[in-house]
Structure 1
Amino acid sequence: MATETGADGEAEPGALDTFRQFLSLEPDVLVLSLAMFAFSLGFQMTSRYLPEYMAALGATPFVIGIYGTVGNVVSAVYPYPGGAVSDRVGSRYALTVFGLLSTLGFLVWLVAPLVGPIDLGAVVLEPWVWIFVGLLLAQAWKSFGLGATFAIVKQAVPDDRLARGFASTETFRRTAFLIGPVGAAGLLFLAGGEIRPGFLYVLGVAVAFGAVATVAQHVLYDASEDTVGKAFEGVDQILRDLRGLPAELRPLLVGDTLVRFANGMVYTFFVLVVTRFLEVDATIAGYYLSPEVFFGVLLGVEMVVALLVMAPAAALAERVGLVPVVGAGFAVYAVFPVLLIFTPQFAPANALVVAALFAFSGLRFAGLPSHKALIVGPAERDTGGRVTGAYYLLRNAVVIPSAALGGALWDFVSPEVAFSVATVIGLLGTGYFLVFGREFEAYA
């Protein structure tokens, strides 16, 4: 794909240009990027199907909501301990340990059905309990990369091109988000379309990807000059970073937290809506796709749209500002849940309608590069990683109970109420940000 030329005479980014930019990265950064791709592939093959897997193992919607909340806890609290471990043993060995733990987490998910119920007398441990154990391990590798990724882009890209820089990293990473679910759908199809035993094959592939990525990064990554994480000073530093967040971030933080809280209420349950609520299946080229298989196809449709819109939206932000682009992405986050759950009320819940809804959902990623630029842009040149860590720590801490709330509403009231409440909260966050959001200087 050739690049297009914008009105200012500069080349507009195309989808393939982001991959060319990655091939020109420093070798160690490229190794980390490829490891991120491999682990993202493993996560995306497994994580979006885990709620259905848990339901097949006997978990109720409320238990599945608790699983989502535990995932929120892990996302909030892992990055800073990850930095401390990196300080102690060095980046190379920390990455190896995190990779091994993540691979072990995939393995625990794989063997969970084989363990069976364990009767402890007063308590019976159901097989789905091991999904929680695996989650605590599988997220380990992600504990290192968030702040480092932001800091690398901040240091390597001019301030007025930050959105384009993040479009490059996100397009590369999100390709795994496309390949993973579609690959999982293919394996499920070959296994007859059933979550069991098909998902066990998916988990086996995730274990293999994790093992290969762990070995590759340990052998190829040279962290002799890496300084990421070497200035961590404990809780006092966290508190200073939280108090020192740039003023421009506060409206974004409020709006983003509300939108992510809303998304957290329903994100875990999207697979159950498709497979158990709408029960939508499809026949493509004469092949029948069960709801479980079709869900992977829907995620692929969503991510194709995301990959197509991120780079052009980042370029658009240089003309109209970051706030409108981020706000548009927030709006899609907000309205998608109510559109999905009420599909039978306004259109047939058939394959084409639901695929169109997931294509619409892919538009939310258009604002992601601009969102990241708006987070790290106001930070001083050498503080991007710490500002990012503080921002996500605070946001993710508030979002922690969202999945449990969504699960409780689904289980004890109705799925329609859970998804409607999520949309209301998401629209409040979107409106707040559009009214009070502030550009940072390079994009103003």
Structure 2
Amino acid sequence: MATDRTEGEVDPLDSFRQFFALERDVLVLSLSMLAFSLAFQMTSRYLPEYMRVLGASASVIGLYGSVGNLISAVYPYPGGAVSDRLGSRFALTAFGVLATLGFGVWYLAAVVGSVTVGPLSLPAWLFVFVGLFLAQAWKSFGLGATFAIVKQSVPPDRLAMGFASTEVFRRLGFLVGPLLAAGLLAATVGFLDGFQLVLLVAIGFGAVATVAQHLLYDASEDTLGKSFEGVSQVLTDLREMPATLRPLLVADTLVRFANGMVYVFFVIVVTDFLSVGFTGFGFDLRPDAFFGVLLGVEMVVAILSMAPVSKLAEYAGLKPAVALGFSVYALFPLLLIFAPANQWVLLLLFAYSGLRFAGLPAHKALIVGPAQADAGGRVTGSYYLVRNTLVIPSAALGGWLYGADWAVDLGGFVLQAGPQLAFAVATAVGALGVAYFVVFGREFEPYE
């Protein structure tokens, strides 16, 4: 999109200026994106605790994380095909309806409870799996297109700042959602009652956003593309992936695998393993409400750090910024699981965790930068397809380690399964990814 600013200048506040300029489609899509981001962030980070309260074991919660990884891996391709083939308006409406229904299914899990079907007794937490397939539908469109648009609109040596401008706006939902959930939880007697209220608010957000985007979105500019060409198209895109991306892909997969092993257990560590609430400044928060505050602190640091780190990347290169984000991903699990049960320590740790997002714009620039001008979307889709597919089993492995009770005597040193081992193994895998990237990672030429 052309602007009146100096050529090559990218402002992290561009997204907000477009929003307040009330350009119709920008306004509609921005409101929709924000609403669904709020709804999903209010609910998704608390779902493992919800499942635990409904009777799910650590292994089941880990399996839930892996199913989420599976959906993230397989949804973008068919989601993009639907959008290209049927038009953005229909796709947006369909994805919005499915996501809102998913929030409703999550709500019913506690209302209906376990269900008996003939000789089978279906546990209440099974509803969470069903709802997950629906609720994540809104995330299945636009990933490759977003990357390609930024690449086409921003000079190569400013890609990191270009992605920073989009990330800052998107992350506002990540900030407000958990804080809103924390407020609702703090206002109720117990977690289950509070989370049911959170889910009702999420359903409201989804319903309003779906109706608004269907009625207000101008579909006159939509174009219908050709149908998906099949598996051969995916294989061709993978073969044509730029060679400079391969070290990044290996390292990123290791780091994300490590994070995926324990990500779903962060809420349980705060609310159950450490059981830390917050007292001070006139507040007395239960651990579940405090977790929402911790997520808010994490996202404040993320939002404040992305633009400065992206600007610094223009002088120091993309690789150091990406390495910074990877290192935070790797170290945070070990620091969290061995942290003292102290509210101030947890606040500092989650503030530190926010720095993992600081390298995200540089990371995206490093992915799409080497792609040809007309292949940014395909390169992005191929990259994420490989990474997300390989990461699928991570949460199941982490859940098995977290909930197991076996021990192995290694000549006087006893290796005990449990939360500490799961989080320590995650950090070890993440550290391997960081080391691989530092040694073999390639810089994008305009930043050298």
TM-score (norm 2): 0.92
Q: Which amino acid aligns with 2:429?
A: I
- Specify the alignment match of 2:409 in structure 1: none
2:382 to 355, 378, 390: 390
Deviation at 1:354, TM superposition (A): 0.7
Q: Paired residues, what number?
A: 431
- Specify the alignment match of 1:161 in structure 2: 158
Deviation at 1:232, TM superposition (A): 3.4
Task: Describe how 1:211-250 pairs up with structure 2 within 5 A.
Answer: 211-227=207-223, 230=226, 232-250=228-246
Deviation at 1:24, TM superposition (A): 5.9
* 3-state SS of paired residue (2:220): coil
Q: Which amino acid aligns with 1:332?
A: V
1:357 to 349, 373, 383: 349
- Specify the alignment match of 1:114 in structure 2: 111
Deviation at 1:142, TM superposition (A): 0.8
- Specify the alignment match of 1:139 in structure 2: 136
- Give CA deviations for 1:199-244 in whole Å, capped at 9, x if unaligned: 0110111111111111122122224334586463221111111111
8 Å CA contact 1:116, 1:127 repeated in 2: yes
- Specify the alignment match of 1:289 in structure 2: 285
- Specify the alignment match of 1:439 in structure 2: 443
Cα distance in 2 between the residues matched to 1:25 and 1:381: 30
8 Å CA contact 2:59, 2:396 repeated in 1: yes
Cα distance in 2 between the residues matched to 1:94 and 1:73: 21
- Specify the alignment match of 1:276 in structure 2: 272
Q: Which amino acid aligns with 2:264?
A: T
- Specify the alignment match of 1:423 in structure 2: 427
Cα distance change of structure 1 residues 166 and 309 upon mapping to structure 2, 3 Å threshold: same
Cα distance change of structure 1 residues 158 and 240 upon mapping to structure 2, 3 Å threshold: same
Task: Describe how 1:175-186 pairs up with structure 2 within 5 A.
Answer: 175-186=172-183
Cα distance in 2 between the residues matched to 1:363 and 1:88: 39
- Specify the alignment match of 1:59 in structure 2: 56
Identity between Structure 1 and Structure 2 (%): 69
- Specify the alignment match of 1:326 in structure 2: 322
1:189 to 186, 197, 211: 186
- Give CA deviations for 1:359-388 in whole Å, capped at 9, x if unaligned: 000011100000011111111112111111
* 3-state SS of paired residue (2:358): helix
Cα distance change of structure 1 residues 12 and 223 upon mapping to structure 2, 3 Å threshold: closer
8 Å CA contact 2:337, 2:420 repeated in 1: yes
- Specify the alignment match of 1:204 in structure 2: 200
Deviation at 1:28, TM superposition (A): 2.6
1:372 to 361, 364, 372: 364
Q: Which amino acid aligns with 2:39?
A: G
- Specify the alignment match of 1:32 in structure 2: 29
8 Å CA contact 1:19, 1:168 repeated in 2: no
Cα distance in 2 between the residues matched to 1:231 and 1:162: 30
Deviation at 1:272, TM superposition (A): 0.3
Q: Does 1:407 align with 2:399?
A: yes
Cα distance in 1 between the residues matched to 2:39 and 2:295: 15
Range with greater deviation from structure 2 (325-334 or 19-28): 19-28
- Give CA deviations for 1:25-82 in whole Å, capped at 9, x if unaligned: 9643443233222111111000000000111111111100000000000000001111
Superposition RMSD in Å = 2.0
* 3-state SS of paired residue (2:137): coil
Cα distance in 2 between the residues matched to 1:84 and 1:14: 32
8 Å CA contact 1:167, 1:311 repeated in 2: yes
Range with greater deviation from structure 2 (139-148 or 101-110): 139-148
8 Å CA contact 1:13, 1:311 repeated in 2: no
8 Å CA contact 1:46, 1:206 repeated in 2: yes
Range with greater deviation from structure 2 (231-240 or 181-190): 231-240
Cα distance in 2 between the residues matched to 1:142 and 1:94: 12
- Give CA deviations for 1:155-183 in whole Å, capped at 9, x if unaligned: 22221111111101110010110000000
- Specify the alignment match of 1:5 in structure 2: none
* 3-state SS of paired residue (1:124): strand
- Specify the alignment match of 1:50 in structure 2: 47
Q: Which amino acid aligns with 2:233?
A: Q
Q: Which amino acid aligns with 2:295?
A: L
Deviation at 1:19, TM superposition (A): 2.6
Cα distance change of structure 1 residues 240 and 14 upon mapping to structure 2, 3 Å threshold: closer
Deviation at 1:12, TM superposition (A): 9.5
* 3-state SS of paired residue (1:224): helix
Cα distance in 1 between the residues matched to 2:275 and 2:26: 43
TM-score (norm 1): 0.93
- Specify the alignment match of 1:4 in structure 2: none
1:125 to 122, 125, 147: 122
1:69 to 52, 63, 66: 66
